[in-house]
Homo-oligomer: A and B are copies of this chain.
């Protein structure tokens, strides 16, 4: 059965979206937040009205089998899922549409498309699910012709090594299709970014995606056993090894390279057994910093909960997890091998010692119930909301970072205050900035901020940019990273440039010149030629 097409405007596939009840719940929240009874609604053009320029290049006969200049296809690859993408589509701005979309069916096809793009001076943008929220796959509007390489047909699990719990997997596979292929083997990658349904293994690796596990295996990085990468200079494959100390890790050069060095076509990935033992629950704290202090201690116990997210009171309220008067910690352990009661019991001792009050429910299904369940559901459903918020000029976006514990409180206040001030200055109305932790390390948390502003049609892109600038400036000045797991893309470049050491950028440029001598790979991302 063929799946519905991916939406050009919106999250997921055509026909999907929030229910009327979900939309009413969310819009009710914004009416209360902004004290507004109704919002002016801008029309979003239907696909038939999309206005794209004619392709500037056309593929050679040998590649016509896998290349498309279809309007839907080009429109789909013109944008991804960041706030500015929604606005530009609403404004029928498709200047960033690629000229050609290639759908390789083999690694040989990938190499052939790279060769062709290089020969005609086109930029080449590797594309997985297109769920980037930072312009990672958005073609530059005013550059050379662009070929977007959609890897979705490379979607197979090719080999399973049950003894080592590893699999060789093509990079274009989407999350659900990957898990479906692993399930008969009782294995799972267990990497569930929020975009899980609409993002790919290769995308996760290229962007250092953050996943299911709140501790220990936070990023995809540690699940990568080896890689195959097609670069304009040739194909390379790292050796399958459980660990190695032989020089700097080749894999680590490509993990996070965001398509600027080559196209990840396959990876051997470390897998998990499917968990059968669970314990979890939600814990209330009087405020966010109390929850953070408890989580700091918990993060340093060596218990490694699979889940230990905290939500500030407004964040908990917005997702329906609490009434706005308390901060919430969502805590969980899981195992395929053993009951995790001893782990959960000690974790609850720690959080109680630090002022946490567990909710009544706690047990194996607690992650699907109560505050934890509310938050889990909101986490999965929330990306659909932007479809109806953007036409109502509601600017809702998120940004995320990481910071060491000793600087967290001041950092949080600095970033929150700067973002709130920018919202007020820019829109003339107070907005809201909330915070949660998505991942936690012994040396610091990964805070994730959401902001909500009442924007104005005709100025949304400028308003968003001013808020984004203020927030990002505060993140970098406060010592954080411009991204913990959303990647750099094009939108985070100015702050990434301030964050990364200059000499590292020079070394990375030199490496790129070797692998991509014509500079065709995803230009504008991470470094300039």
- Contacts from A to B (Cβ < 8 Å): 161-166, 207-210, 216, 218-219, 225, 231, 233-234, 236-250, 252-258, 261, 270, 273, 296, 300-304, 335-338, 342-343, 346, 350, 402-406, 439, 441-446, 479-488, 492, 496, 499-504, 506-511, 513-515, 526
A501: nearest residue on chain B (CB-CB)? Answer: B236
By beta carbon, the residue of chain B nearest A256 is B248
Q: Which of chain B's residues has its CB closest to A228's CB?
A: B501
Q: Which residues of B contact A486 (CB under 8 A)?
A: 245
Docked Cα-Cα span, A236 to B500, in Å, equals 9
Describe A's contact surface by its main secondary structure: loop
Contact yes or no, B161 A404, CB < 8 A: yes
Alpha-carbon gap, A444 to B164, bound state (A): 6
13 new A-B contacts at CB < 8 Å, known A244-B481, A244-B484, A273-B300: A161-B406, A163-B404, A231-B503, A241-B480, A241-B481, A242-B444, A245-B483, A245-B484, A247-B508, A247-B526, A301-B335, A510-B510, A510-B513
- How far is B240's CA from A444's CA once the two chains are assembled, in angstroms? 10
Selected contact of A163 from candidates B245, B250, B406, CB within 8 Å: B406
Instruction: From B236, B402, B503, give the contact of A503 (CB < 8 A).
Output: B236
Q: Which residue of B lies closest to A346 (CB)?
A: B338
Contact indicator B208/A245 (Cβ below 8 Å)? yes
Which residues of B sit under 8 angstroms from A218, Cβ to Cβ?
Answer: 243
The reply to whether B164 and A303 contact each other, CB–CB distance below 8 Å, is no
Q: Is B500 touching A405 in the complex (CB atoms < 8 A)?
A: no
Cα A508 to Cα B161 with chains together (Å)? 31
Please state if B252 and A249 are interface contacts (CB–CB under 8 Å). yes
Q: Are B239 and A499 in contact (CB under 8 A)?
A: yes
Question: What are 20 A-B contacts with C-beta separation under 8 Å?
Answer: A164-B406, A164-B443, A208-B244, A225-B404, A240-B479, A241-B403, A242-B444, A243-B439, A243-B446, A246-B499, A250-B501, A252-B253, A300-B337, A302-B338, A303-B337, A303-B338, A507-B511, A507-B515, A509-B514, A510-B511
Contact B247 A402 (CB under 8 A): no
Cβ of A245 and Cβ of B301 under 8 Å apart?
Answer: no
B248, A254: Cβ atoms closer than 8 Å: yes
Contacts of A165 in B (CB 8 A): 300, 442-443
Q: Count chain B CB atoms within 10 A of each CB in A162, A216, A246 and give the residue with the most.
A: A246
Q: Is the CB of A443 within 8 A of B484?
A: no
A252 to B162, CA, bound (A): 29
Residues of chain B with a CB closer than 8 A to A346's CB: 337-338
Do B250 and A404 touch across chains, with their CB atoms under 8 A apart? no
Name the contact of A501 in the complex, choosing from B238, B302, B406 (C-beta under 8 A). Answer: B238
